[in-house]
Structure formats: structure tokens, C-alpha cells
């Protein structure tokens, strides 16, 4: 491995932040004139006039034009699959050797070479070349440069079609595992937030109008439930995607005696995919993955919307700490809940990524089409965005305070105990529709007098309905309303306490990191 010494002043402004001078790693290649190593193993290369022959170029007399090469390359983004690509190649080489299609010596050389390439990539020394098109060809060509003839045997009984599908399924599988962990982390933060606010009653809303009183813990746990379904959808998706395309080759399989079950097992798949055409053309797993991400994004956006509203002066129900707030460049008094506004906004990106994939796939004939190269960037973007949304939502949940006094002062407005009062009449034997009408008249009287239901005297209530008795006081006011909720899943204190106990146990909150 050689390197050149170059002054960063001679390079583009992109590199101006690098030390002067800085060392440029070079990967050995006769056609490479100069390589500038850009942070995170991305490179720019200036090619000499003679281009390297393509690994698929046997029948071609002319090289592709520079415009075509630039337009069709995918290495600029699919290098993210390098670890999965090397993993798949290791499994494939081991299978080929066991089936007698390559020698054990060749297998050992391939595995050793792949190990070295992986180390070079992780050290940031590997040169990604656009003339080698994609991650698969870059690694295979580099392997040939490194170990020679044995590397040419690695592509026996496989195609880039089944190779990329295998890599992508492995990458998405890992991404799902990471997202599910982030979901659990946010759930833990929300449960801890609920535990801090025991007994706090807040207005519950429908149509953004005050409806009934609910415990804040109950409202927070609603988001925990939604996130649990999000995790479940992702795990269901993971189970369906966990079938191995490797060995399907271009679309028809192979006449060589390969063992697809061996490679499938080595890569942790449930089994090989049954149909070779489906194996290389299916992108259902991607659509399902991005659909699950989109639903998660919608849930996070709703959480963001609620907290942004509650942080406004009009509500004043919560205050974010300075550590999760931003200010205004012109208005010195402003304290903005920007992270949750961006959570709300970035949900559009995640949904857009799904729509891009749906449109991409909708008109494709069987089997593989080059259009499918466009499936990766939306997936990478969706995963990066949803991971960020989950992380910042957890940070925000950890750094907000609910303004209990402000909430208590705001509670009387809206006659939140009206439905509980109607339930009181039902318990007295009055049909619900009649009870609804009676309480509606009581509310109308309160509106005209600018008072609350609990402010009405028993005599005034009896003037509306003789069914009212002195025990009605036990059903008036938000505290009594909460006490009277008793159905499974309701906002009653005992029920919410039971819900909290369930989540504390399920998420192991006492053991989870803060």
C-alpha cells in the first residue's frame, strides 16, 4: 500500500478542513492516476484514458461513455452494503468449496482476501471506483487485484441480481433490529415520564375540543401502545424478508450442483426463496419495511404535534428544557420546541421514500430490471430519518416538564365531567339517550351562567330532572370522573396503574438505562 503527500491547498474547498499536508492512501491499480481519500471511505478518482475492462465486458468492443458510466453507477451509495456483500461472498465461497466447485485452497485464498478488503474498508483505505460501478464489482475486482485467479471463481453460480437482493435483505434485517431497539428506548423514556406524573389529570380532546378528563399517564401510554405495534410490524416484516435469494442467479437458477440451503443457513436466513424469478425481482420486503417506517413516522409526528401545541403559550401544559429548545434570531423572548417540529416535518420524508418505491415498482415486468437500482437510496434515507426521529423524541421526552399548576387551573373549563354525569343517570335507570338530553340541558344552563356542573346546587339539578339525588356529588368534577372510570383499558386510576405495571415489567424499565 502506497500513499502520496498532497497539500490540501491544492485540492477543492471540500478538503480544506483536512490537515496540511495530508496522506492519501492509494489502492494498487495500473489505471488509477490519483485518488483523494475523503472522510468515511468515500473517494474521488481521476481515470486515465484507457478504462479498465468491465467484468461483464467480454462481448463488448467499446467502452461505455463517461456520461453513461456516471449515470449508471451506484457505488456512491451502495457501498453501504459492503459488510453484507462480504458476508454473502464468504458463505458462497464456503458452499462452492463443499460442493466441489472450487478447491479448498481457492476458498481459503478468497476468504483471506475478503478479510483484508473488509479491514481496508473499515480503515478508510479502500478505493471505491466509479468505473467498477457498484459495491459487488468493486469488491470482486479488488479481490482479483489482491489474490489473482482464485477470485475469478467466486462468481460461480451467482449473479449480481441475486447478490444484491441478498445483500439488501441482510442490510434491511440489521436496520430493523436497530430501529426496534430505538423504539424500545423511546418507550422506556415515555414510561418513565408517565411514572413521574402520577395522578396528574389533563383534558382529553376529540376534534381538538375538550371532551373528558384523562390521566396524563393514560395519554402517554397511548403512544407506548402505538410504538409497540410499530415494533411488531417491523418484526413481522423481518420474518417475511428473512429468506435467501442467493443461488437464484440472474433469474433462472443454475445447472451447477450448489447447495442453497447451506448458504441460507450460514447467513441466518430461515430458508432459500422457493422461486428463482421471485427471488431476484421481489421488493415486497422493501415496500413493507418502508410502510412500517411510515406508520412509525406518523405516530411520532402526532406526538410531536401534541407536544408542540402543549408547549405554546395558549396551552402552557409543558415546558421543554433549554437543552432541547432553540431560540429566535430576531425575537429574544422565543423558546421553540424545534426538535419535535422537525420530527413532525421529517415524517414527510419517510412517507415520500415509501411513495418513491411504490411508484418505482408498480410497472416493472418480471424479473430483474435496472430500475431496481433506485430502491436503495430511499431505504437508506428512510432508515436514517426514522432513527433520528426516534432518538430525538426520546431526548425530548427526557427533558420536558408538565406544568401541573397551569393544567389544574385550566381543567374546569369545558364541562369535562358531563359524560360521567350522564353515566350517573344511567345507573339510576334512565335510558342513555334521555340522560344525554338531561345533562345537555344542565350544561346549557351552566354556559348561560358561566359556571361548572359541580357549581350547580342539588335543587337546580332536580329542576332539570328529579332523578338527581345528593349522591350526584360523587360524579361531579374531574377527580370524581377519573374515580368513576372502571372499564378495562380506561383512564381510571386502578386501570392506568395496571397498565403502567405491565409496561414497566415488559420493558424492564427498572433495569433500563436512563
- What is the per-residue pLDDT across 167-209, written as a single tens digit (0 to 9) for each? 999 999 999 999 999 999 999 999 999 999 999 999 999 999 9
Tens-digit pLDDT profile for residues 117-138: 999 999 999 999 999 889 999 9
Supply the pLDDT for residue 204. 94
Query: What pTM was estimated for this model as a whole?
Result: 0.85
Residue 360, CA distances (Å) to 163, 357, 376 in order: 20, 5, 11
Per DSSP, 456 falls in state S
Supply the pLDDT for residue 43. 41
Q: What values do phi and psi take at 329, rounded to 5?
A: -75, -15
| Percent of all residues in the chain with a pLDDT value above 70, rounded to a whole number | 87
Supply the pLDDT for residue 41. 41
What's the rounded Cα separation, in Å, for the pair 303 and 281? 37
Hey, how many other C-beta atoms are within 10 angstroms of the C-beta on 245?
Answer: 29
Distance of CA 289 to the CA centre of its chain: 9
**Catalytic site includes residue 328:** yes
Residues β-bridged to residue 37: 43
Supply the pLDDT for residue 53. 62
Instruction: Judge whether 274 and 261 are in contact, CB under 8 Å.
Output: no
Tens-digit pLDDT profile for residues 22-75: 343 333 333 433 333 333 444 444 343 456 665 545 555 666 777 877 777 888
**Catalytic site includes residue 94:** no
For the cut 90, the answer to whether the pLDDT of residue 322 exceeds it is: no
* C-alpha cell read off for 415: 364541562
Supply the pLDDT for residue 329. 85
Supply the pLDDT for residue 209. 92
Looking at 232, 328, 486, 497, which residue is catalytic? 328
| Percent of all residues in the chain with a pLDDT value above 90, rounded to a whole number | 78
* C-alpha cell read off for 74: 451506484
Tens-digit pLDDT profile for residues 387-432: 999 999 999 999 999 999 999 999 988 999 999 999 999 999 999 9
| pLDDT interval class at 510 (50, 70, 90) | confident
Looking at 40, 207, 323, 510, which residue is catalytic? 207
470-494: average pLDDT: 95
Amino acid at each position: 500500500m502506497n500513499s502520496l503527500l498532497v497539500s490540501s491547498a491544492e485540492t477543492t474547498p471540500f478538503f480544506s478542513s483536512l490537515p496540511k499536508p495530508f496522506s492519501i492512501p492509494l489502492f494498487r491499480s495500473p489505471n488509477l492516476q490519483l485518488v483523494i481519500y475523503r472522510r468515511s471511505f468515500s473517494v474521488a478518482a481521476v481515470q486515465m484514458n484507457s478504462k479498465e475492462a468491465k467484468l461483464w465486458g467480454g462481448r463488448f468492443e467499446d467502452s461505455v461513455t463517461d456520461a453513461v458510466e456516471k449515470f449508471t453507477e451506484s457505488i456512491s451509495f451502495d457501498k453501504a452494503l459492503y459488510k453484507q456483500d462480504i458476508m454473502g461472498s464468504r458463505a458462497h465461497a464456503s458452499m462452492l468449496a463443499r460442493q466441489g466447485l472450487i478447491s479448498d485452497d481457492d476458498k481459503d485464498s478468497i476468504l483471506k482476501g475478503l478479510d483484508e478488503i473488509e479491514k481496508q474498508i473499515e480503515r478508510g483505505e479502500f478505493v471505491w471506483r466509479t468505473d467498477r460501478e457498484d459495491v459487488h464489482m468493486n469488491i470482486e475486482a479488488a479481490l482479483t487485484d489482491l489474490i489473482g485467479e482464485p477470485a475469478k471463481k467466486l462468481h460461480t453460480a451467482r449473479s449480481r441480481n441475486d447478490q444484491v437482493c441478498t445483500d439488501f435483505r441482510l442490510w434491511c434485517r440489521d436496520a430493523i433490529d436497530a430501529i426496534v431497539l430505538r423504539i424500545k428506548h423511546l418507550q422506556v423514556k415515555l414510561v418513565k415520564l408517565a411514572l413521574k406524573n402520577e395522578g396528574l389529570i389533563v383534558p382529553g380532546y376529540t376534534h381538538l375540543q375538550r371532551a373528558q378528563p384523562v390521566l396524563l399517564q393514560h395519554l402517554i401510554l397511548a403512544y407506548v401502545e402505538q410504538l409497540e405495534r410499530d415494533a411488531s410490524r417491523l418484526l413481522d416484516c423481518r420474518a417475511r424478508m428473512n429468506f435467501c435469494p442467493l443461488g437464484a442467479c440472474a433469474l433462472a437458477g443454475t445447472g451447477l450442483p450448489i447447495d442453497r440451503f447451506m448458504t441460507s443457513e450460514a447467513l441466518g436466513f430461515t430458508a432459500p426463496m422457493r422461486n428463482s424469478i421471485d427471488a431476484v425481482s421481489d421488493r415486497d420486503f422493501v415496500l413493507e419495511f418502508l410502510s412500517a417506517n411510515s406508520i412509525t413516522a406518523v405516530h411520532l409526528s402526532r406526538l410531536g404535534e401534541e407536544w408542540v401545541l402543549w408547549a405554546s403559550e395558549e396551552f402552557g401544559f409543558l415546558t421543554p428544557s433549554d437543552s432541547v429548545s432553540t431560540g429566535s434570531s430576531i425575537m429574544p423572548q422565543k423558546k421553540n420546541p424545534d426538535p419535535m417540529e422537525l420530527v413532525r416535518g421529517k415524517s414527510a420524508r419517510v412517507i415520500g421514500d415509501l411513495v418513491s418505491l411504490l411508484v418505482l415498482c408498480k410497472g416493472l415486468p418480471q424479473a430483474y430490471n435496472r430500475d431496481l437500482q433506485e430502491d436503495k437510496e430511499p431505504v437508506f434515507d428512510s432508515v436514517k430519518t426514522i432513527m433520528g426521529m426516534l432518538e430525538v423524541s426520546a431526548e425530548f421526552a427526557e427533558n420536558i416538564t408538565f406544568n401541573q399548576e397551569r393544567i389544574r387551573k385550566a381543567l374546569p373549563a369545558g364541562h369535562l365531567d358531563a359524560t360521567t354525569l350522564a353515566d350517573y343517570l344511567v345507573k339510576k335507570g334512565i335510558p342513555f339517550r334521555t340522560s344525554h338530553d338531561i345533562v345537555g340541558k344542565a350544561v346549557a344552563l351552566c354556559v348561560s351562567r358561566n359556571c361548572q356542573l359541580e357549581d350547580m346546587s342539588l335543587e337546580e339539578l332536580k329542576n332539570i330532572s328529579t332523578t338527581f339525588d345528593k349522591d350526584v356529588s360523587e360524579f361531579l368534577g374531574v377527580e370524581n370522573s377519573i374515580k368513576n372510570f372502571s372499564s378495562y383499558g380506561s383512564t381510571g386510576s386502578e386501570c392506568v396503574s395496571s397498565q403502567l405495571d405491565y409496561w414497566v415489567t415488559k420493558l424492564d424499565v427498572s433495569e433500563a438505562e436512563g
